[in-house]
Structure 1
């Protein structure tokens, strides 16, 4: 049986940074949503 080698594709560094920033922004947004709900009792203050 032949030995097979598989190469994992490399991801561009810029894409990794962009995804990490997107994750941070989502995390901050979730905390903002929780904070708004705890302080006002509404999910979207002024709307719901």
Structure 2
């Protein structure tokens, strides 16, 4: 019982890590787009 619960938790953790990586890549693309559209000092807030 304990081992299966641990396995499920690990799988959930790996899913979250993948989602976070996807989100980070999307954020990078968004920031790059913003910079190319309007290269202003305000972008430093991102």
TM range (shorter): 0.5 to 0.7
Name the Cα RMSD after superposition: 2.4
TM-score, normalised relative to structure 1: 0.65
**Higher relative CO (CA 8 A, sep ≥ 6), structure 1 or 2?**
2
Larger radius of gyration: 1
Is there any run of 5+ residues in structure 1 with no aligned partner, and where? 1-9
Runs of 4+ in 1 over 6 A off after TM superposition: none
1:27-38 equivalent positions in 2, closer than 5 A = 27-38=25-36
TM-score, normalised relative to structure 2: 0.67
Is there any run of 5+ residues in structure 2 with no aligned partner, and where? 1-6
More helix by share: 2
